[in-house]
Chain A
């Protein structure tokens, strides 16, 4: 039931405008591929490991093919043609020979093409079957161990060392966390390869690797059984290797992944076109794996003003929703993000936060919304910060947010102390127990401040979407519409990894993922 009396025609119009703005981008993604999409195909086909310099074999093989036949036809046909004609026992042996320059790749035709297709299809199908098995495994564990009630409490660990992360994550789960996010090392988003193996060295976070995923998931399975509730694991499908990380997450049963349509563009200066192509593929894989995506709109409010830019959050959410639906993700897997970042010195700041949070809840009634705590206005006064976090928690329960990241009163001072985390959990538990059902009794006055503000933000969102529709989304990003950062379509990192598809382009993973949508 709507508490804000939003005009359904306006809501429909906003979605139509987002679709119109997104469609040209999807056309771009359908007619291009990237080095990382092609490497993800090889990962789904089972190619793991790295050479002695730590460069993954998927990079070696994809690079060798790019240098000879090019990647405009996709990696699959030349790779499996070489597998079949060279009688290779497995992909790794092929990759080793390819890296040594011993393989003559070619684009096969006729019967040989069909043979290569069938071989590639079999390999990739195996990977997708593993993803299906992992998804089934999650469903069974949720049923047998138990799914915690919402809001899910989301906590971050980030030591840089997976073997330190594990006990910290298990302790956090015992303290009440329903979701553990392992923050990545800051440099990883700009690496054009996925590191291998268990890692113990990272800056402000731990590398996302397949082995780290596996180790943490296994540890949390153990803790989930101990606690009688399934603890979800989150990582980041972002940066230059978004498609590959999405594949690894599906293969190792991660449960949620940060995956935003514009975050890498705006905050990591990754080329917009590269991002949109990578994003579409990664979301297709997430859809298959039943992974909840988390979008990153909260980040806009850390650079832009949370009142002035409230409508850019809604616009980005509508775009994220369109791109996600197009890639096959249903509403229940859309963890759209937003944040409590209004300056507490602004009069009525809590009412404004309520209006924004309620607006988003009503625009996306079936999405597991992810609500982020204050960071920008945490001043170092830990007492005031604790109060602000309590108001954040209150706004979260009043507006039925699904995933609540725990606010730390020591935000910006240090990596949370054990006691910071404990106090923060005490804060959210108190609010949830004391006011968890307040939402059902709280209906803003129809023409009061909260409802008016929500309608105004929706109106501003529609205006901005119209402008984006007229100028094009890439132009809007280039002009600094989101997060006050200008990112031109021909700038940023990773553009050299974008390849226009030839007519004969073939990708066994995309064919299968689109067929199963």
Chain B
């Protein structure tokens, strides 16, 4: 396979794409319409669509117009220039997760989960923790060797730290859905700092997840792992055993 590709419409290499956008221009009189379409074409051209065709334009209220544009891009995509961080651990079936915990820890692995800050969404944390699970996979509560404490939403950081300590948590899972003013980032940082100050090296494994997290940003936020959109409970469980319950015969090399 060639390492250079272009978008595919109906023929290899035709470069055809579709975009839609709104411009703050009126779409009333004939002249306004002509100006609006011209504006859309100009933007499409600057985006690299050449030739471009406005296939749909519709005025929305007195001062906005919505466009759908098809066009041909000349850009080339170089697949060899893409780097993907490989998952550093295998995704395991539930039985193996349980087995690994039993043999490595000899007790249940304790997970405390919460949505912190003002974020009231429990969808994310529930999808990972509740037996019901997500995407056809059962949540962590379903794993016999994992004990789950789900604190729900709008939990304060001090409460989370106190509970993690009281439950002797091996890992703390935090979900953040609301991203207004980057609240998900500041909340996660605040949580990581609080654990560091309260427990130092004795702190539990810190994991945060939510639709807008960049999995590569964990270190900068002071947590051990970030999970982004579409993460399943099994991936989280597999990561937990990878980090906390290593295989008995695999010596960690520093």
Please list the residues of chain A having a beta carbon within 8 angstroms of any beta carbon in chain B. 160, 171, 174-175, 185-187, 189-190, 203-204, 267-269, 302-305, 412, 417-419, 422-423, 484-485
Contact = CB atoms under 8 A, between A and B. Distances in A.
Nearest to B211: A412
B53 interface: no
Given A186-B178, A419-B20, A267 B120 contact: yes
A174 B153 contact: no
B118 A203 contact: yes
B22 interface: yes
A402 B126 CA distance: 31
B60 A419 contact: yes
B122 A303 contact: yes
Contacts of B60: 175, 418-419, 422
A186 B119 contact: yes
Contact of B180 (A160, A303, A485): A160
Nearest to A423: B66
Contacts of B118: 185-187, 203
A484 B141 CA distance: 13
Nearest to B66: A419
A183 B49 CA distance: 39
B113 to A, nearest CB: 13
Contacts of A423: 66
Nearest to A379: B230
B185 to A, nearest CB: 14
Contacts of B152: 269, 485
B218 interface: no
Interface in B116-143: 118-120, 122-123, 126, 130, 132
B61 interface: yes
Contact of A304 (B20, B21, B120, B132): B132
Contacts of A174: 61
Interface in B196-228: 211
Contact of A419 (B22, B120, B181): B22
B244 interface: no
A351 B120 CA distance: 32
Given A303-B123, A422-B60, 12 more contacts: A186-B154, A186-B178, A187-B120, A203-B178, A203-B181, A203-B183, A268-B120, A269-B153, A269-B154, A304-B132, A419-B20, A422-B58
A189 B120 contact: yes
Interface string B12-37: 00000000111000000000000000
A484 B180 contact: no
A176 B211 CA distance: 31
A462 B64 CA distance: 52
Given A175-B60, A203-B118, A267-B153, A305 B132 contact: yes
B64 to A, nearest CB: 6
Contacts of A171: 61
Interface in B149-171: 152-154
23 contacts: A175-B60, A175-B61, A186-B118, A186-B119, A186-B154, A187-B118, A189-B120, A203-B180, A268-B120, A268-B153, A268-B154, A269-B153, A303-B122, A303-B126, A303-B132, A417-B22, A418-B60, A418-B64, A418-B66, A419-B20, A419-B21, A484-B130, A485-B152
Contacts of B20: 419
Given A160-B180, A203-B178, A267-B153, A186 B120 contact: yes
B77 to A, nearest CB: 21
A54 to B, nearest CB: 17
Nearest to A268: B120
Contact of B178 (A204, A305, A419): A204
A249 B20 CA distance: 40
Contacts of A189: 120
Interface string B62-103: 001010000000000000000000000000000000000000
Q: Which 9 A-B pairs have the closest CB atoms?
A: A187-B118, A419-B66, A422-B60, A186-B120, A186-B118, A419-B22, A269-B152, A204-B178, A203-B118
Nearest to A412: B211
B66 A422 contact: yes
Contacts of B132: 303-305, 484
A313 B181 CA distance: 35
A138 B17 CA distance: 51
Nearest to B179: A204
Nearest to A269: B152
Interface string B181-196: 1010000000000000
A423 B126 CA distance: 32
A190 B61 contact: no
Most buried by A among B123, B130, B180, B181: B180
B136 to A, nearest CB: 10
Nearest to B178: A204
Contacts of B21: 419
A259 B223 CA distance: 39
